[in-house]
Chain A
């Protein structure tokens, strides 16, 4: 029975057991040429900037054994950053990706590459890593050139070996790793003048490369955040109010304190327990819950949600400035769309293990935002940066839902009181109740057409979901687009895959179908008549062709319908055509087929991109079919997988995914945009099937 993971396994995975600073320094000392210690690494990191302008040593280490260690502040939550960043480094170092160990998301060791969100890894971090790797290669070439007295351009690099063909000399990275002068050379800043490998010469990027630690996932050996272990650690639980906006009036901690081995913490609003097992912690918490008295304040329910958002719009809801022009237009239309709160529901709930030591506070946790969580912890515990370390083992799903440090703060408070490490994992119910949600939305849309069916005026006011995807990609000479916040959103809200672009594209693309009908045009023809952006046109035309749109859109079959939608976000472009079947009540709605075409510039890892598109499509089915948080009296009514039904195997449509690989264009991220066309395409198909226009998600609530 193997219970101890390797401190620093060949895939760069670290476990709480192994990765103390002392241990890491040992590993460095044993295996890395640039023999910097932990603090020196931290200095390197601090000098590094997000653009990759710090010293090479902050990013790349060469081992005398031929292993190359690459460092990044990005994290892996299943989206494929570990594979793609490894590929990026391998490409510029001219080595096989298998030669690289990637250390991710560790505030003491890695550069701050920013939050892993917003599809930024591909357009920002890959170039930063590539610049660091290319600078390292240039240093090595210069070193060999000096030793051999030859011109650097005469040296070729392949598979970690430098060769000078004319003289027949060669040297490996591993051999150069022993040169004392290299450590100094790697202190050189990564300049802007570094030349990156052009796409046409890519050997590693552009290819499929699987996740390096995939084997540890199928064997169960990989230690997710909640699988971390420290000697003597306790399991933590926290008292939750029975409702939102509830205030603790009184509580008796004596019964919980009477349980052997249990530590109880009461500090202001915070009441928590830590115990040698989860079971004991649960019992102690139950004892506390039984004595807690609460004052429950009024809280809007999900039934009054949309009215509430409208009445609390900051500065009021902007009205349509084109009212006069609308009166004169050949045709015009106004609609309002509603999108409820939904939850990310990653399979691994929030988890963190906190330990206080002479080094300060160390936290192993699942977060997309290691440096942001470090800042949160510094603020809460009033600590300088070098006294808080956040380590992020590859974790179980994020989707924009793990940007904040709640579980870490809870674990650290308990650990501080207990004088022992404490691990804290939220229950599924906590995850569905106290994690932040994708914002609900109220969206007012109005459009006016000329006699040829061309948009002349466009009014789009989006209350609460944010500005992502706010701007219409369609040609509209007169546009008025506003994102308005609510002053009093009833639930905590935060990021989500593509965030506001989901709601905004749902509203816009459903509305475009209604306008098409008004103009007497087919939805595809109407869009193309109002669309100039060539990249968006390309995916839309290709999706329609592959799907057989023209023929399917003409066909009339009771209860069967087709719909399409498209959109652009984060510099990438998507179009989806779907076929659905449904009964008139929409209760038996099933998505039969999805054809999605996507374009995000030059593709870095085709298989990983397909996985992201598959994932985004399946995730996107949830909010259109069923997902919606229901709450009343401050209590969440469906805080479980039984009552909040995420997509399942029985929901799977037949999928046709096609990627337009634009190797002439810069690579941008692909994990988010593929979700934005799913909901509106399904909603539009409902109209085609049963003649009902959809103005709210999920469709089953219509």
Chain B
């Protein structure tokens, strides 16, 4: 049975008519055309579908859309502003931190979440913080380099 779910996506209020148990991932991709968020496993064990829900890193594949009613969802498409890249996107580009690029949006959203929450993991803590994100091309070293660069360059924002 369909119902109306109101949520904020990338700063815009949207209302979707949908079954409430549909995964947020599929609503983003199929109803809202936001295909930057990827399906990788459907069970929260690869990180490819990572989005921010009220700034918390969230597996969109496991999250029923009804759970985010009234909340704010940020996807890779909403990260930059006015045609400019977000610093994490800039850092990934500079470090060439991608091969196929399929895991890239999830990785970027994870790290962007740290910045938005004012977290600054130390360089040696970063691998453990990214443990839930899989990359099969082996861009791990460059992803770490991108994360370290952007963490070093971003002042801690007071919440």
**A residues apposed to B, CB below 8 Å:** 1-3, 77-80, 210-211, 214-215, 217-224, 226-227, 229, 235, 277-279, 344-349, 394-397, 399, 425, 427-428, 607, 611, 614-619, 640-642, 646-650, 652, 655
The 0/1 profile, CB within 8 Å of A marked 1, for residues 90-130 of chain B is 00110010111111110010000000000000000011101
The interface residues of chain A, by DSSP majority, are classed as loop
Q: How far is the CB of B16 from chain A (nearest CB, A)?
A: 11
Given A221-B77, A347-B48, 16 other A-B residues pairs in contact with their CB atoms under 8 A: A78-B99, A214-B98, A219-B77, A219-B79, A227-B35, A277-B31, A279-B23, A347-B102, A348-B100, A395-B100, A397-B100, A427-B42, A640-B45, A641-B41, A641-B134, A649-B140
Q: How far is the CB of B13 from chain A (nearest CB, A)?
A: 12
- CB within 8 Å of A: which of B21-38? 21-23, 26, 29-38
B85 contacts the other chain (Cβ, under 8 Å)? yes
The 0/1 profile, CB within 8 Å of A marked 1, for residues 44-60 of chain B is 01101000000000000
Task: Find the B residue at minimum CB distance from A423.
Answer: B30
Task: Find the B residue at minimum CB distance from A80.
Answer: B99
**B residues apposed to A, CB below 8 Å:** 9-10, 12, 19, 21-23, 26, 29-43, 45-46, 48, 75-77, 79-80, 85, 89, 92-93, 96, 98-105, 108, 126-128, 130-131, 133-142, 144
Residues of chain A within 8 A (CB-CB) of B37 are 220
B89 in complex: contacting residue of A218, A277, A346, A349, CB < 8 Å = A218
Residues of chain B within 8 A (CB-CB) of A220 are 34-37, 75-77, 105
| 7 pairs, A vs B, C-beta closer than 8 Å | A3-B35, A77-B100, A78-B102, A220-B77, A224-B35, A399-B136, A641-B46
A607 in complex: contacting residue of B26, B31, B96, CB < 8 Å = B96
Q: What total of A-B pairs shows CB separation below 8 Å?
A: 179
Task: Find the B residue at minimum CB distance from A621.
Answer: B138
Task: Find the B residue at minimum CB distance from A428.
Answer: B41
Task: Find the A residue at minimum CB distance from B130.
Answer: A649
Residues of chain B within 8 A (CB-CB) of A218 are 85, 89, 92-93, 98, 101, 104-105, 108
Residues of chain B within 8 A (CB-CB) of A214 are 93, 96, 98, 101
B128 touches A652 (CB 8 A): no
Cα distance A685–B148 in the bound complex, in angstroms = 31
A348 in complex: contacting residue of B21, B32, B38, B92, CB < 8 Å = B38
Task: Find the A residue at minimum CB distance from B25.
Answer: A278
Cα distance A517–B101 in the bound complex, in angstroms = 45
| Residue among A226, A397, A642 with most chain B CB within 10 A | A397
Residues of chain A within 8 A (CB-CB) of B85 are 215, 218-219
B43 touches A648 (CB 8 A): no
Q: How far is the CB of A13 from chain B (nearest CB, A)?
A: 12
B42 touches A428 (CB 8 A): yes
Residues of chain B within 8 A (CB-CB) of A222 are 101
A1 touches B77 (CB 8 A): yes
